[in-house]
Chains A and B, each alone.
Chain A
Amino acid sequence: MVNRTRNLYLVPYITWIALFVVAPIVLIVYYSFFDVEGQFTLGNYAKFFTPVYMRMTFSSFWYALLITLFSLLVAYPTAYLLTRLKHKQLWLLLIILPSWINLLLKAYAFLGLFGTYGFANAVLEMVGIGTQQILFTDFSFIFVSVYIFIPFMVLPIYNALEELNPSLVYASRDLGASSWTTFRRVIFPLTLDGVKAGCQAVFIPALSLFMITRLIAGNRVITLGTAIEQHFLVTQDWGMGATIAVFLIIAMAIIMIITGNRR
């Protein structure tokens, strides 16, 4: 009985995986063995281990880590406070809504806001700090990336918090635990799944960010995603692009295994 339903669920899902996941992976692995002139080669893999690409890999991971960390720091309190609001679901929708505006347009808006004569610098000027270069710095890059990823972090955490049985929190309070202890010992561990889902939904795409590395960071930050995009669209060196993608997919699988085996 149980067996039969399980198989039924698997059919459409496995079909989807076979068509749109396995087939592209096979194509990517296949392409990674060819050079620009269409000759079979292992050179792309050798090239990946040169200092240029190693440094790029390292900085991609570093920035993705920072972005995930800051997203979590901003998103957790936001999600927590949202659950205590009156029209909480409406507010949650309002968190997601800004991501429906085209990213390129928002990036242009950030260029204006962060520019030398922009709003942010006008405020700094008023406070007496004076005009700073905000655009094309690590700060602006991480700020805008966090901006983009916030909804993807808030949503799963919010869901986890909603699941939380409030009587557990009351019980902890009644037993004399401080708010901080309650949070650390009760609330946070019980919402860990949401946090994990959020971190996965941020860290993994953050590894392959592109476009804003150019628009907001002025190519001072070059991630693996940027390199892949360049290889596919500009250099037309699909082999090298595919090779980097293979490593990204391996990295993703490792992350999934590390974060997934608690249960």
Chain B
Amino acid sequence: MKQLIRTFAVIFLVAFALMYLTSYLNKSQGYSGGNTLTIYNWGDYIDPELIKTFEEESGTKVIYQTFDSNEAMMTKIAQGGTTFDVSVPSEYAISKMKEEDLLLPIDHSKLPNLKHIDDRFLDLSFDPGNRYSIPYFWGTVGIVFNPDLLDGWQLTSWNDLWDPRLRNQILLVDGAREVMGFGLNSLHYSLNDTNEDHLQEAKRKLGELTPNVKAIVGDEIKMLLAGEEAAVGVVWSGDASEIMDENDKLDYVVPEEGSNLWFDNMVIPKTARNLEGAYAFINFMLDPDHAAQNAEYVGYSTPNKDALALLPEDISGDTRFYPEDDVTAKLEVYDNLGKRMLSHYNELFLEFKMHKK
């Protein structure tokens, strides 16, 4: 009995000591009270130096909180209980958040640096007039492949994936829109197609792909491809650039049938408390110097044309990540298909995953 009491007493003592230490550290960092700005972003999706610079320039303390999926982030914002001043959802999430009234409209007059954004990336279907969102990074969906493992074969199209030479060599990202999207694209349908016959056709065609599919995975796809675990992967361009940083044998292509054009965007959720700070931060990130610094750190494509000019030629001239106009013309942004259609996409994708080998 004595031992029990002693042990639990020690545990509580240690816990309280640690709590004291935490609050001390928090204070020394200036996190408690005063002028703070809470940013809700993907993990490691901003150069930490920029946060420091912003804090010094504005005198605002930044609280950086992270999420791992758009859906989880939306649930958190919808449920309330927290104050997020700026968040960075993907474009399809923005239409949903708009519908559910989770976003505050953005006053463009408070963002003088908005002029640096390339017109091509403004006023898109998911947010006409950019009333609620400001582009942060953009990219495509495509194929990463390893010519060394494929006798030098350079893939160019989605239909190449069905080649019997790729048996058990393909890794796919675990995303219903992405996989159904390239299934539709390979049949030269739009990746926003809602025609039931076309969808069933795409599902059947994807079913034929299963012998070639080694696995359907998440973020670890980068590690697996860079480690040459498989020869081919269907990934987002941002991931592709990271993979190729790690392993320069690999190459990336935006397939000729067309593909998806995606955006991550800065928004102000309705939970925002520090509106001044939110505008100051977004404007700060739109500054060409800062945007360029961030693009170099994160490695994704920046929509900021003046920042692009500041980037070294080997980044800005890379047509795989800053494709030329004829390729861009074939890219499509995901439309918001509505909840019912979306869940139909997901059912079809689930059936594809359950397809017996």
Do chains A and B directly touch (beta carbons under 8 Å) in the complex? yes
Convert B335-357 into 0s and 1s, putting 1 for each residue whose CB lies closer than 8 angstroms to a CB of A: 00001101100110011011001
* Least Cβ–Cβ distance between B96 and chain A, in angstroms: 8
Cα A219 to Cα B174 with chains together (Å):
9
* Least Cβ–Cβ distance between A234 and chain B, in angstroms: 6
**Which of A170-223 touch B at CB < 8 Å?**
214-215, 217-220, 222
Q: Does A164 contact B (CB under 8 A)?
A: no
Contacting pair B340 A220 (CB below 8 A)? no
Stretch of B180-188, B191-199, B221-229 on the interface side: B221-229
Contacting pair A237 B346 (CB below 8 A)? yes
Contacting pair A116 B229 (CB below 8 A)? yes
* Least Cβ–Cβ distance between A103 and chain B, in angstroms: 13
| Chain B interface residue number, banded | 20 to 34
* Least Cβ–Cβ distance between B222 and chain A, in angstroms: 11
- Closest partner residue, chain B, to A226 (CB atom): B353
Contacting pair B354 A111 (CB below 8 A)? no
Contacting pair B227 A36 (CB below 8 A)? no
Q: How many residues of A contact B (CB 8 A)?
A: 30
With known contacts A218-B215, A235-B342, A115–B229 Cβ distance under 8 A: yes
Q: Is the interface of B mostly helix, strand, loop or mixed?
A: helix
Chain B residues in 8 Å Cβ range of A108? 220, 223
Q: Does A99 contact B (CB under 8 A)?
A: no
Chain B residues in 8 Å Cβ range of A233? 69, 71-72, 75
Q: Does B214 contact A (CB under 8 A)?
A: yes
Q: Does B216 contact A (CB under 8 A)?
A: yes
* Least Cβ–Cβ distance between B44 and chain A, in angstroms: 14
Chain A residues in 8 Å Cβ range of B75? 233
Q: Does B217 contact A (CB under 8 A)?
A: yes
Q: Does A11 contact B (CB under 8 A)?
A: no
Name the contact of A56 in the complex, choosing from B174, B215, B354 (C-beta under 8 A): B354
The contact sample of 13 A-B pairs, CB cut-off 8 A, is A36-B342, A52-B350, A111-B220, A115-B224, A116-B228, A135-B229, A136-B214, A136-B215, A218-B214, A219-B215, A222-B350, A233-B72, A234-B176
Q: Besides the contacts A115-B229, A219-B353, A220-B215, what 14 more A-B pairs have beta carbons closer than 8 Å?
A: A36-B339, A36-B343, A52-B347, A111-B229, A115-B227, A116-B228, A116-B229, A214-B174, A215-B218, A217-B215, A227-B350, A233-B75, A234-B69, A236-B71
